[in-house]
């Protein structure tokens, strides 16, 4: 009879040990090797976790780049390729996925306040985030990290005022509005001590952290950029690199007047990509409040970020009825908010009509990456950002 239940008993015992072990023991006793394919492993463990990012932030060879879906695009002028070709001495570390907007990055970076003083990294801001309502409930729920939020709200280095503002915003979302710590900060009330709930919350947070450590240690390397066309840039200055990007882009965008890559244009024609975008470019978007939260988090972190504001494809947006006046109200407001905080800033929105800056309606393209690569490398080398 005992033999029959032995496997179950052993499994239960192992699970019990796992629950009782402190995260530090698991981190120490299991062999750890950062398996991020040199920063290119765009997966949930990297994006929502803390273990991999902690190793990265503590290793001076990495240059973190926070963004959204543009980070995933296979492009020979992507920083993953250009930094290596130009022997920059830093490896880009990509943090983001489609739908990762200001609030998502604010929670992540805020969870590290006190750890990233003077750390250099870039954050790419996309204008299409600034919709009429800002990030919606489903998108937030799929992108936010409970582990990072717990660290944010329990971080003694985060000012209480910032925790209150963040918590008030989080009352808008299904996944966070009932969180006891969120509610206590949002309503500026001391957390009601419920011993059973406190133990359960502590146990859950503990399990989240240990799960992240184990998944990070066991992560399979995957570099999505290995199959991208290689373009030789050695010996070229930035003007020549941009010209090479134009030459390359012109061969990828031959079937439409909007300088979009052929595959994307074909998807538009077959209604597989969004055609009209009436909910975008609102100067009173809730996203601006989230953007200010992100700026305030960056200020509290005392880090050294480069903020990059990219344009939309102006020729296409003119065509679908979102005119220049509406777009520039959003561009200008982003610029004014960053200027007020005094961060290093590369505003590329004046290139919204420039061919091959974008490769579709909204994503950075061949020449766009060439411009941005140059400014990120200037930032790394402590050189002034140029509005070229």
**118 in a domain, yes or no?**
yes
Q: List phi, psi (to 5°) of 271.
A: 60, 35
3-state secondary structure of 8: helix
Residue 196 in any domain: the answer is yes
Quick: pLDDT tens for 251-264: 999 999 999 999 99
Residue 338 counted as domain residue: yes
Looking at the structure of the chain, the number of domains it has is 1
Q: For residue 7, tell me if it sits in a domain.
A: no
> Would the pLDDT of 192 be above 60?
no
How far, in Å, CA of 28 to CA of 141, rounded?
Answer: 32
For strands 304-309 and 120-125, give the pairing.
parallel
The model carries a pTM of 0.90
Rg (CA), the chain: 23
Percentage of the residues of the chain whose pLDDT score is greater than 90: 71
| Position 11 in a domain | no
Distance between CA atoms of 284 and 287, rounded to whole angstroms?
8
Q: Is the residue at 155 inside a domain?
A: yes
Question: For residues 186 and 274, which has the higher predicted lDDT (pLDDT)?
Answer: 186
Residue 195 has a pLDDT of 45
Q: For residue 262, what are the domain limits?
A: 31-380
Please answer whether residues 305 and 123 qualify as being in contact, where contact means their C-beta atoms are separated by less than 8 angstroms: yes
Residue 10 has pLDDT above 80, yes or no: no
Rounded to an integer, the average pLDDT of 85-100 is 93
In a domain, 20, yes or no: no
3-state secondary structure of 93: strand
Evaluate whether residue 5 is within a structural domain. no
Q: φ, ψ for residue 381 (rounded to 5)?
A: -90, 10
């Amino acid at each position: 009879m005992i033999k029959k239940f032995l496997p179950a008993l052993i499994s239960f015992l192992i699970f019990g040990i796992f629950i009782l072990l402190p995260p530090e023991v698991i981190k120490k006793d299991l062999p750890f090797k950062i398996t991020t394919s040199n920063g290119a492993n765009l997966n949930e463990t990297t994006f929502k976790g803390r273990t991999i990012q902690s190793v990265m932030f503590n290793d001076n060879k990495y240059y973190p780049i926070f963004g959204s879906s543009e980070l995933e695009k296979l492009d020979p002028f992507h920083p993953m390729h250009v930094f290596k070709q130009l022997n920059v001495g830093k490896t880009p570390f990509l943090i983001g996925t489609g739908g990762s907007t200001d609030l998502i990055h604010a929670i992540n970076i805020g969870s590290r306040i006190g750890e990233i003083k003077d750390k250099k990294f870039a954050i790419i801001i996309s204008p299409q985030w600034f919709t009429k309502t800002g990030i919606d409930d489903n998108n937030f729920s799929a992108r936010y990290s409970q582990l990072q939020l717990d660290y944010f709200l329990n971080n003694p280095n985060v000012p209480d005022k910032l925790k209150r503002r963040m918590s008030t915003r989080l009352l808008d979302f299904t996944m966070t509005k009932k969180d006891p710590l969120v509610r206590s900060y949002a309503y500026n009330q001391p957390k009601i001590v419920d011993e059973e709930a406190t133990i359960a919350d502590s146990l859950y947070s503990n399990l989240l952290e240990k799960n992240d450590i184990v998944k990070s240690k066991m992560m399979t390397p995957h570099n999505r950029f290995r199959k991208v066309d290689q373009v030789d840039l050695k010996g070229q200055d930035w003007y020549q690199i941009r010209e090479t990007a134009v030459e390359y882009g012109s061969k990828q965008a031959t079937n439409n007047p909007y300088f979009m890559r052929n595959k994307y244009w074909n998807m538009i024609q077959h209604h597989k990509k969004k055609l009209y975008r009436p909910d975008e470019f609102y100067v009173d978007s809730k996203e601006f409040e989230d953007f200010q939260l992100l700026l305030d988090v960056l200020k509290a972190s005392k880090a050294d970020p480069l903020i990059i504001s990219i344009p939309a494809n102006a020729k296409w947006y003119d065509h679908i009825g979102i005119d220049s006046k509406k777009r520039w109200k959003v561009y200008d407001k982003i610029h004014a908010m960053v200027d007020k905080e005094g961060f290093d800033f590369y505003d590329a929105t004046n290139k919204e009509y420039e061919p091959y800056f974008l490769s579709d309606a909204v994503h950075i393209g061949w020449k766009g990456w060439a411009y941005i690569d140059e400014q990120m490398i200037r930032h790394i080398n402590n050189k002034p950002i140029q509005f070229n």
